[in-house]
Amino acid sequence: MKITELLKRPRKTFSFEFYPPKTAQDAEKLFETVKDLRSLGPDFISITNSSTGSTPYRTVALSGVIKEKLGLEVMAHLTCVGHSRDEIRAIAERLKTMGIENVLALRGDIHNIEGLPPKREYRYASELAADLKAIGGFSIGGAGYPEKHPEAADMASDLDALKAKTAAGVEFVITQLFFDNRFYFDYVEKARAAGVTVPILPGLMPLTSYKQLQNFTRMFSVRLPDEIREGVEKYAADKDSLLKFSVDCASRQAGDLLAGGAPGVHFYTLNRSKATKEILKNIR
């Protein structure tokens, strides 16, 4: 079922994000995690990919296997900045043959691509969304940034880019992770004022290690409330206490988002199930 149809239902939507494994051992662990979380009845799951050459095909294959073997609705991430339009069409057709109806249209991280052609065919996610819409058969999602995209000059220009994506064919938005709900609610309000009418799903992830705290604030330019930063630092050497603290914080965050009108929650799982299961148990 297409995610656009799922989002039309009156109840909240819950979804999980995974990334393709690199080794056979990682693949085995991933399938155990997906099976474990399947019992929670997610509305859909998503499979990420980077902008490097072979990764989209790992995403396609994994998406097809999970849909066929586990019966879950799958959204495949698709980046465009490192691909030609012919390559994108080939990837899209392969997704279709595997019954994948949902795609998250992304530009991709330019800095992670070696040998990026200077005159590449895609520059923006809106161009990919337009091509996917022309190909047809997909429910198309896009990314949103409650604290603005790191490369955007300001929030106004970032919202212009979001509006361009929805005009090109993006039918729902999933946000980058954030830890202060004020950013999400302000973002939705500003997006609506700018003319963006599609559903905006918040992306949520508990911090379960001190390393994550360091990485995410650096990589994603997200701000942490003092309560979370101090808690992670306090329990950095106590794995069980840190997990409980993080699950409690994320549960409160998710509950507040849903109570405030968010259409659901998209969980970044990092291919693990324990924290996500506990959060869902708390908010349900």
Query: How does pLDDT run across 164-201, given as a tens digit for each residue?
Result: 999 999 999 999 999 999 999 999 999 999 999 999 99
**Per-residue pLDDT tens digits for 36-78:** 999 999 999 999 985 555 567 789 999 999 999 999 999 999 9
Q: Model confidence at 115, in pLDDT bands (50, 70, 90)?
A: low
**H/E run at residue 283:** helix 274-283
Residue 270 CB coordination number (10 Å) = 17
Tokens 């500003």 correspond to 190
Helix/strand/coil percentages in the chain, nearest 5: 50, 15, 35
Q: What is the pLDDT of residue 132?
A: 98
Task: Count the helices and strands in the chain (H runs, E runs).
Answer: 11, 8
Query: What average pLDDT does the segment 93-122 reach?
Result: 82
pTM over 0.85: yes
- The three-class DSSP label of residue 31 is helix
In the chain, the percentage of residues whose pLDDT exceeds 90 is 79
- The three-class DSSP label of residue 137 is coil
- The three-class DSSP label of residue 45 is strand
**Residue type present at position 15:** S
Torsion of CA 271, 43, 228, 219, to 10 degrees: 60
Question: Nearest CA to 161 among 104, 107, 83?
Answer: 107
Query: What average pLDDT does the segment 237-244 reach?
Result: 93
Backbone angles phi, psi at 8, to 5 degrees: -85, -15
pLDDT exceeds cutoff 90 at 127: yes
**Residue type present at position 27:** A
Q: What is the pLDDT of residue 118?
A: 55
Share the mean pLDDT of the chain: 91
Domains of the chain: 3-207+248-272 (3.20.20.220)
Is-catalytic flag, 17?
yes
Give the strand pairing for 102-106 and 74-79: parallel
Q: Model confidence at 82, in pLDDT bands (50, 70, 90)?
A: confident
Question: Nearest CA to 212 among 268, 170, 156, 137?
Answer: 268
Q: What is the pLDDT of residue 113?
A: 57
Of 140-144, 216-220, 238-242, 249-253, the range with the lowest mean pLDDT is: 216-220
**Per-residue pLDDT tens digits for 158-167:** 999 999 999 9
Q: What is the pLDDT of residue 52?
A: 53
Which is the catalytic residue, given 5, 17, 32, 151? 17
CB burial readout 155-169, b (16+ within 10 A) else e:
beebbebbbbbbebb
| Burial tier of 238 (Cβ tally within 10 Å: 0-12, 13-18, 19+) | exposed
Q: What is the pLDDT of residue 275?
A: 94
Q: Model confidence at 109, in pLDDT bands (50, 70, 90)?
A: confident
Tokens at 18, concatenated:
């995974």
CA atoms within 13 A on the CB side of 181: 16
Q: What is the pLDDT of residue 255?
A: 97
